[in-house]
Amino acid sequence: MKYVIEGGNKVFGKVEIQSAKNSVLSLISASVLSSEEVFIENCPNIYDVECMLKIIKKLGARVKWADGGIYIDPTKINSTCICDKLSKKIRASLFLVGPLLGKFGAVTINQTGGCDIGSRPLDIHIDALEKLGASVEAYDDCLYFHADKLKGNFVRLKYPSVGATENAMMCATLSCGVSVIENCAKEPEVVDLQRFLNKMGAKIQGAGTSCIRIEGVKCLHGCSFKPIPDRIETGTFMLLVATLGGELEINGIKPENILFLAEKLRNNACKISLYNDIIYIRVNNNLKGLGEIVTAPYPGFPTDLQPLACACALSCDEETVIKETIFENRFKYAEELLKLNANLEISGNTLRARKSELVGSTVYAPDLRGGASLCIAGLYAEGVTVVENAEVVERGYENFDKKLKSIGAKIIKKK
């Protein structure tokens, strides 16, 4: 699949932000812990969500799209083996290890897939689950986790990994005793998972800080839950209008989760107003520059927005310096931007972006956020840009091309 994009238009209008992809994927995993049906409201119909739902259906769960969300009945799960092609396609399948281990005492999983943006080792997950009583064995390309009895324990993560934090939380929820997890990820999606688990009857506190305390319970019940808005999609549209110019009303946001970006853009030529769950952003002139961007765990600048910030920087009058501290392969998209005549310089984990007269060309989306970056650059460039492998973009954005069209962007999706 490819996007055919014609550059040169400003954007005007309204967009509605979907529920957070990275929250919904962990909520689907956590639903496995329930002894009753759960309902996840306002769920985005994107590739990664569909893939996760197919995985839990193969385990025996019943899934139904209705009422703008998904009903998940985990009571018929009869397998804990996730060794198939699906789990190799999506790294979020790893989020099922904690809940399946916590509820059934065993799980087998493939080495997982996802976007090729760099090394994402499993040792942090394994160390945390071993502390809770699990044993791990490797054979072929699978990992087998098992535990006769999971017990609460003190767990200190050697890095504040979101996935490892969430896996440990879910595993400890049905464990015997109290678990304390230190050096936790503080991302809003971790807080959302705590809210979801507690609504099902868990006893968890501390999410959003570096220390989370879980008091194990015997079982969880069903609930209806609305996930937080997607802060990465919010940032995508903020950076889009900052690049192209125009005026957008972005609805359904959570302001506190994007203040870091709002302040950076507000210090340039962007006029930004926040009202409850709406952000208004107007851009009449070129931005002077984004200064220095250093990716870091929350509340730092998200690595997922780094490629989009780079595309925006190509429209700025002054140099922007981007330092990537999380994934070593995150600059793959930059090689494609060079095909559009981008003025970029890469040295190790540092990228320097300068104002560029971009010209349309054919480029290849290397990953989800890199692909979105190429779309923004193509919409800024003169002429026509073709973004190949565009299906990777739809792993994280629902109706991406339609949303862009609705605000005046010229983009056509082709098979």
Q: How far apart are CA 381 and CA 99, in angstroms?
A: 46
CB 53 within 8 A of CB 32: no
Helix and strand numbers (H, E) in the chain are 13, 24
Catalytic-residue membership of 223: no
Instruction: Find the DSSP H helices in 227-366.
Output: 231-244, 259-266, 306-313, 332-337
Residue 341 burial by Cβ neighbours in a 10 Å radius (0-12, 13-18, 19+): middle
DSSP element (H, E) containing 224: strand 224-225
DSSP E strand stretches across 312-382: 320-323, 343-347, 350-354, 362-364
Interacting residues of 11 by C-beta distance below 8 A, sequence separation 6+? 240, 241, 244, 245, 246, 247, 248, 404, 407, 408, 409
330: left (phi over 0), alpha (psi -120 to 50) or beta: alpha
∠ at Cα 115 (314, 403), nearest 5°?
Answer: 60
DSSP E strand stretches across 78-192: 81-82, 106-110, 135-139, 142-146, 154-156, 178-182
Q: How far apart are CA 163 and CA 223, in angstroms?
A: 23
SS3 276: coil
Among residues 380, 85, 66, 345, which one has the least CA distance to residue 245? 380
Phi, psi of 396, rounded to the nearest 5 degrees: -125, -10
Cis peptide before 299 (omega within 30 of 0): yes
User: What is the token pair recorded at 64?
Assistant: 């139904």
Q: How far apart are CA 123 and CA 59, in angstroms?
A: 25
Residue tagged active-site, from 51, 115, 270, 310 = 115
Catalytic residues: 115
